[in-house]
Structure 1
Amino acid sequence: MAARSFFLSLRRTSSTIIKNNACSKGISHSRFLSSGVLASDVLEEISSSKGKDDLKTRIFRLRLPKRRVINVIKKWVTEGNQTTTFELRQIQKELRKSQRYKHALEISEWMVTHEEFALSDSDYAFRIDLMTKVFGIDAAERYFEGLPLPANTSETCTALLHSYAGAKLTEKAEKFYEK
């Protein structure tokens, strides 16, 4: 019983801190208290609003895979900001390291749909790897088969072979290697 009262008082204290911090930042606290958001999430949002605002931080603020990175990039560009191929590749690599494959694949989609970004063989290989992780080996195979001939290089072939190896499809890997 004492532990329960301790946690209730702790909850009230954290709600008061959140409310005061949110109000001092000009953020409506009612949205936080009624939505059931954890105190750490609210404090993270408040502290991130203080820091620098660049494309990478905006993308990494997306926590749920359902949220779309493409929307963040579109908003970034419509605000008059520029993005480079190098910057997008770096963000992709960091997303992959943190196992946020869907978000990394969305950046790759953005680069494919916008012709101002010249894709390299490593971009295609990276996309094959991400497609394997997000959609499975069948989707990666279909994507590889649809690549233009100049993109069918050793790098993209190696990426597909790694996908086969990861899925333990040795027969498919051997047939593909023979081709």
Structure 2
Amino acid sequence: MSENNAFWNYALQLYSTPETAELCLLLQNDYQLSVNYLLFALWLAHQGKELPASLDDQHVRQWRTRMLEPLRQLRYQLRHSKQSPQEYECYEQLKNAELAAERVESGLLYDLTEHCPDVVRDAGAAVEVMAIKQLGYLNLCSVAGVEPCLTGDLQTLLRQLNNKATGCGGN
């Protein structure tokens, strides 16, 4: 597994703006979408690769459900009760552990890149258009039916990221 990889660096750069982070968290919290999967789909689009709808790696899914999501749930539970210095310290440690688990997940996703075929795209096709096509990834998140507001939120995110991502897609 490659924890220090081009995808992780790309994701960190995209997620670094407050507007992008806020919108990613909205998609995660309101629609139970994986921010890592979303950013992976976008990174693949910038790499000229396609995220196959059939790409559902058991190892990534198990890592997410057994490690990452329980850490997030614990952190969320502690978030509102950070009254003592010890509780605050515990919250911060859980936040760091969650970030470390997300980094592991990004490495697992990056390792799947070889299974993602190259896409031949029109010279005039914007990366945003290609990235929207990538969002067949929603199937991986078990989202039943794409609601209009979800589509709108995703398109807003893609517009935000399209400008920012042009400078951070390298291998």
Question: TM-score category by the smaller chain?
Answer: under 0.3
TM-score, normalised by the number of residues in structure 2: 0.23
| TM-score in terms of structure 1 length | 0.23
